[in-house]
Amino acid sequence: GAVVSQHPSRVICKSGTSVKIECRSLDFQATTMFWYRQFPKQSLMLMATSNEGSKATYEQGVEKDKFLINHASLTLSTLTVTSAHPEDSSFYICSASGEANEKLFFGSGTQLSVL
C-alpha cells in the first residue's frame, strides 16, 4: 500500500520556539493532504486541508497564523507550529489521498511537547 512518512516522530521544545513537521507521500502523488490534532483517548480533530499549489483551508477555530501549512509539491506538506506554547502540546497526524473521498494514508504522527 501507499506510504506516508511523517517526521519527526517526537519533538520537545521550549515555549516560544517554532516547530516544523513534514509529511511526505513516498510512492504516490498526494493531491490533498490533511492535518489533524489528537488529544489522548480522543478522536482526530481536522485542522486544515492542504492542496498542492494553493492555500490551505483551515477549519473553524484553527489559527492560520499559528499553524502554517505549506504544500509546495505533490509529495510534501509541512505544518509549522509558530511560537509554540504548552497548550500546543499534542499529537499531530497528517494524511494524504490520491483521490477525493477515497481511503486515506496516514503518517505515524508527531508527539509535540512544549515546555
Give the β-pairing of 76-81 and 44-51.
unpaired
Integer angstrom CA distances of residue 91 from 9, 28, 39: 9, 25, 6
Q: Interacting stretch for another protein, rule CB under 8 A, among 13-21, 73-81, 82-90, 96-104?
A: 96-104
Task: Give the x/- contact pattern for another protein in 35-64, rule: CB under 8 A.
Answer: ------xxxx-x--x---------------
Residue 80 contacts another protein per CB under 8 A: no
Residue 95 contacts another protein per CB under 8 A: yes
Per-residue cell: 72? 509546495
Task: Give the x/- contact pattern for another protein in 17-36, rule: CB under 8 A.
Answer: ---------------x-x--
Give the β-pairing of 10-13 and 110-114.
parallel
For another protein, the binding residue among 21, 93, 112, 114 (CB under 8 A) is 93
| Closer residue to another protein in complex, CB, 67/105 | 105
